[in-house]
Amino acid sequence: EAKKLWGGRFSGGTDPLMEAFNESIHFDRRLHAADIQGSQAYAKALKRQGILTAAEQKTLEKGLSAVLREWQEGTFELRPGDEDIHTANERRLSELVGSVAGKLHTGRSRNDQVATDMRLWLRDEVTALIGYLRTLVGALVQRAESDVDVLMPGYTHLQRAQPIRWSHLLLSYAFWFQQDAVRFEQFLPRVAQLPLGSGALAGNPFQVDREWLAKELGFASVAPNSLYGTSDRDFVAELLFHSSLTMVHVSRLAEDLIIYSTAEFGFVKLADAYSTGSSLMPQKKNPDSLELLRGKCGRVFGGMSGFMMTYKGLPSTYNKDMQEDKEPMFDAVDTLSGSLQITAAVIATLKINPDKMRGSLTADMLATDLAEYLVRKGVPFRETHHISGAAVKMAEDRSCQISDLSVADLKTLHPSFEKDVMQTWDFEKSVDRRSSIGGTSRATVKAQIDQLKQWLA
């Protein structure tokens, strides 16, 4: 039977079923590098307090580097009893450097250690996620720029509403992802709050210099209370929420493109690289990438709600329930990094059918513009809305387009209609009239592109 870190007060062995139930090494091995980084810093902090001699600290540092190399080269051999990554690394260290390894954990607990490891790991992963978000924003901006001439129907309630630029839609996604990136950036300093030096719960009895440790590990601050330092998993909750919200944006983008890629719409065609076929129906090309993006949103949400249920109602400081925090954290990061990269690739390789998009515009989508024509002649909008509605009905009764009504027809609805009303029936003009900040006009779409480019620079 392997010697347990905590075996001193035990005489009975552990039920093998419990052993398997208790272990976390099969997933927390992902923290191996963070765990070693934290230990190397902690050994230096112990040396500064005179707990380790300079020679002992050097021995530990080298030993830990050797352990890290084994992980990196895939030669680290797990042993029965390697309950978690902390246990495994310390066990291997003691095999490599002998009994001095036993000094490393002085004043430290797995409770402050695990929280530190997770934060170290997550900091780098969040930085990578921000990079993927930026790449995605870049892909959307690039498309928006090259497709700026393309007009399409804009929808509310999935009913055709008003003409918009396709680029305008692409940029709406880009601003979502930009905000996601900003949220992750603002989250980083909260991730980088150092629990190490909190001990098991009550604090460190060897006066380790936690400010120094924070600097050494590149943390932004020190957890200001040791109970809080070991209790807190808000950073996991926050990661899961920010990830869930980002996945909502991914999912909504995917849903739009799934709809637009149906034969009935035919606005976009997914590249073969991101589609699959049917095993039965030879003609099928299915938007599997988009469906997976939509589906994986649910998975990240599930991780968040599962974790919140675990987190709620825990008594203060460390409880083993908290071991359940890691898998949803890993899964959210993995799901997000895959999803963001696929989304960017789908956007960059998407084929669009500009004729089909523009061809789906119908004159009734300019009924608002007709009302606005009268507004410009001084008629209150509430009245013009009714008058334009009457014009829509007149066209419907005659089974013609609203743009087929003559000036004389329109004059029966309101005397202010003049010959120039015919200029209303121009999709390009309609779009370009919407030129206040954020509108779908060419100029304001270009301004949005510039704004995002500046942010990306």
CB atoms within 10 A of CB 146: 10
Near ligand ARG by CB under 6 A, which window of 59-67, 110-118, 125-133, 410-418? 110-118
CB-nearer residue toward ligand ARG: 333 or 445: 333
Q: Nearer to ligand ARG by C-beta: 118 or 139?
A: 118
Tell me the closest approach of the beta carbon of residue 25 to ligand ARG, in angstroms. 8
> For 283, what's the count of Cα atoms within 13 Å in the CB-facing half-sphere?
1
Q: Which residue is catalytic, options 157, 279, 399, 436? A: 157
CA terminus-to-terminus distance, the chain: 58
In angstroms, rounded to a whole number, what is the distance separating the alpha carbons of residues 179 and 305? 23
Q: How far is the CB of 52 from ligand ARG (least distance, A)?
A: 23
Residue 325 vs 369, nearer CB to ligand ARG = 325
Identify the residue among 318, 373, 417, 427 touching ligand ARG (CB under 6 A). 318
Pick the piece of the chain touching ligand ARG (CB under 6 A) from 74-82, 88-96, 318-326, 365-373.
318-326
Rounded to a whole number of angstroms, the minimum distance from the CB of residue 64 to ligand ARG is 18
**Of 174, 196, 300, 322, the one binding ligand ARG by CB under 6 A:** 322
Phi and psi angles of residue 52, each rounded to the nearest 5 degrees, phi first: -115, 145
Among 49, 106, 275, 323, contact with ligand ARG (rule: CB under 6 A): 323
Choice from 39, 40, 59, 111 touching ligand ARG (CB under 6 A): 111
Of 176-184, 233-241, 319-327, 344-352: span binding ligand ARG (CB under 6 A): 319-327
Question: Would you call 157 a catalytic residue per the annotation?
Answer: yes
Nearer to ligand ARG, 15 or 420 (CB): 15
Mark whether 278 is an active-site residue.
yes
x/- string (CB under 6 A) for ligand ARG, residues 7-46? -----------------x---x------------------
> Does residue 317 touch ligand ARG according to CB under 6 A?
no
Tell whether residue 84 is a contact of ligand ARG (CB under 6 A): yes
Question: Which residue in the list 65, 146, 221, 278 is annotated as catalytic?
Answer: 278
Binder among 44, 110, 143, 385 for ligand ARG (CB under 6 A): 110
- Binding of ligand ARG by 147 (CB under 6 A): no
Catalog residues that contact ligand ARG under the rule CB under 6 A. Answer: 24, 28, 84, 110-111, 114, 318, 320, 322-323
Residues belonging to the active site: 157, 278
